Structure 1
Amino acid sequence: MLELLILGHLAQGPLHGYELRRRVEQLSGHTRPVSDGSLYPAINRMVKRGLLTRHIEPGAVAAQRYVLTLTDAGRDELLRRLRDPAQHEITDHARFFTILAFLSLLPDVEEQHAVLRRRLEFLETPASFFYDGDRPLRAEEVA
């Protein structure tokens, strides 16, 4: 989810690392705190994969800063992940709200609705805590 948070925030415009970290924490820090030890390695991996670019800009008052920008490949990856989230991203409360935070970035409203329908289908499916292998059991099968 950290990569999705990074992609989503950078889709709104270039950010320096500190500002990106602040925004990530504002969106998900209450449920999943983000440390420098996880954020900056994720950024480095994404730069290597060509999803982001990093360049140096002079600081307003002090030291220079690295500014991160989403590439076309990064935007494509973001849209792909929003269009077709993994099932655990639909069923997990915190992960789904990350998807929801950036869902409006999908240009096709019908694609947005398809993701929302998947969440609704999950919510409307009765929960089962008993399984026969991978198959959930209905209440009448448990008795």
Structure 2
Amino acid sequence: MYDLFVLGELMIGDTHGYQLQERLKRAVGPVRQISSGTLYPLLSRLVEHGWISLRLEEQEGGRARKIYKLTEAGRERFFELMVSPLDYTAETELMFHFKMSNFPYVTKEVRLASLEQYLNYLQHNLKYVDSIVRMISSKKMDERKRAQVLRMLDHRKHVGLADAEWVAKELERVKAAEE
């Protein structure tokens, strides 16, 4: 998943690891921790695969800065990841956001496919929430607990509906946009 983020950032141009780490921290938000222990092994793996290259840039009075550059193989890998279907996992929302931030580099068809896949994911989750509501409503359980679980599920449903509405509007906007 972070492969797509790094390759997408390098579509903009060469950069150093610290800058990538700072951008990644902003992209994933304040709750998820992205350490050097996460990023630098990923960068090493991307170099090993030939998707990015590394050069050392000498710094005055300090150690050399590692500068990363996207290779042609990395560009191909980026496009493969952009067209690959979204998996239904705990990381689906973040992966969608990574894809969406890279929409300027792909065709309208790829953007539409990503939006449609995410909308399907959201609709799948909404169906799941409805099925859990039906199940809990028919189960024998403490009424206070049932009421609170149903409130929690109502929250999930409202968030999912709002997200699905936004994605549907974005789909229409992208469809109507000129290439």
SS in 2 for 1:11: helix
Contact 1:90 1:119 in 2 (8 A): no
Contact 2:86 2:95 in 1 (8 A): no
For the aligned residue pairs, the C-alpha RMSD in angstroms reads 2.7
What runs of 5+ residues in structure 2 fail to find an aligned partner?
A: 139-179
Q: Name the structure 2 match of 1:79.
A: 79
Aligned counterparts, 1:48-63, within 5 A: 48-59=48-59, 62-63=62-63
Q: Pick 1 or 2: higher relative contact order, CA cutoff 8 A, min separation 6.
A: 1
Q: Name the structure 1 match of 2:37.
A: 37
Kindly state the Cα deviation for residue 17 of structure 1 after the two structures are TM-superposed.
1.1
Distance in 2 between residues matched to 1:118 and 1:65, nearest whole Å: 39
Paired residues, number = 135
1:25 and 2:18 are equivalent in the alignment: no
Q: Name the structure 2 match of 1:133.
A: none
Contact 1:14 1:70 in 2 (8 A): yes
Give me the TM-score of the superposition, normalised by structure 1: 0.79
Q: Percent of counterpart pairs with the same letter?
A: 26
Aligned counterparts, 1:1-143, within 5 A: 1-59=1-59, 62-88=62-88, 92-106=92-106, 108-125=107-124, 126-128=126-128
Distance in 1 between residues matched to 2:21 and 2:40, nearest whole Å: 9
Kindly state the Cα deviation for residue 92 of structure 1 after the two structures are TM-superposed.
2.5
Kindly state the Cα deviation for residue 61 of structure 1 after the two structures are TM-superposed.
6.1
Farther off after superposition, 54-63 or 93-102: 54-63
Structure label with greater radius of gyration: 2
Distance in 2 between residues matched to 1:90 and 1:100, nearest whole Å: 17
Determine which structure has the larger helix proportion and give its number: 2
Contact 2:86 2:118 in 1 (8 A): no
